[in-house]
Amino acid sequence: MRNKTFIYDQTTLSKEELEMSEEGLTEFRKKNPIALDTPDLQLMRGRLIRNIDENLFIMNENAHTRFDQVISTFVSIDTDAAMLFYRMLSPLFQQAYAEIGFRNVSFDDTLRSAINTVLRFNNVEGPYQLVKPSVMYLYADASIENLQDVHKQLIRIGPDNTAILKAKLREFVSLL
């Protein structure tokens, strides 16, 4: 009985402390509103350059540099070691792929197809105009906005990073 009382008291105390923390956080947020990712913050970080009017933007030529470290880390992976590791886990990948509904589809073939989708992409010349009709930015050029999501991501990482990524993917696909 004593343990139940102790547990109940601790639970009640924890709930009260959590409520006080939430109230404190709510008050702080009211006094110090946080603008998460407004166009003005994007401008300050150099990712966008305001153009023409308040609703039309041009992507900064250097916006892709935020992806340099990710691409550099990816290409630093030893291809042969990665493929050995992949082959070791391949049965598990295939099993998981079957479990999510792709029973008669080879995971290797799907991976190869995904890599080839990246490799076939031809860079689209910038500058890239963006509009923000709601929360998300969209490419003003419908031919770019209608590209596959992976192709739009390749535009975001920039032509240099795309070339580096494609070279590494060619190494991987040759070993699949």
**What's this model's pTM, rounded to 2 decimal places?**
0.69
**Domain chopping of the chain, boundaries:** 1-34, 39-175
Beta carbons within 10 angstroms of residue 70's beta carbon: 12
pLDDT at 110: 94
Residue-wise pLDDT tens digits, 118-150: 999 998 888 888 887 777 788 889 999 999 999
pLDDT at 77: 92
Beta carbons within 10 angstroms of residue 17's beta carbon: 10
* Cα 154 to Cα 167: distance, rounded to the nearest angstrom: 14
Q: Residues of 80-98 as b/e, b for ≥16 C-beta within 10 angstroms?
A: eeebeeeeeeeeeebeebe
Mean pLDDT of the chain: 83
Tell me which amino acid residue 171 is. E
- Is the pLDDT at 1 greater than 70? The verdict is no
Coil vs helix vs strand at 129? strand
* Cα 118 to Cα 157: distance, rounded to the nearest angstrom: 12
User: What is the edge-to-edge ordering of all strands in the sheet holding 48-51?
Assistant: 48-51, 53-59, 129-131, 138-139
Sorted by sequence, the CB contacts under 8 Å of residue 50 that are 6+ apart come out as: 39, 43, 57
Confidence of residue 34 (pLDDT cuts 50, 70, 90): low
- Is the pLDDT at 169 greater than 80? The verdict is yes
- Is the pLDDT at 168 greater than 90? The verdict is yes
- The DSSP code for 65 is G
Task: Provide the token pair at 85.
Answer: 């590791």
Sorted by sequence, the CB contacts under 8 Å of residue 169 that are 6+ apart come out as: 115, 118, 119
Task: Give the residue-averaged pLDDT of 102-109.
Answer: 92
User: Cβ distance 141 to 152 under 8 Å?
Assistant: no
Task: Provide the token pair at 8.
Answer: 């109940």
Confidence of residue 20 (pLDDT cuts 50, 70, 90): confident
Residue-wise pLDDT tens digits, 55-92: 788 887 778 888 999 999 999 999 999 999 999 999 99
- Is the pLDDT at 52 greater than 70? The verdict is no
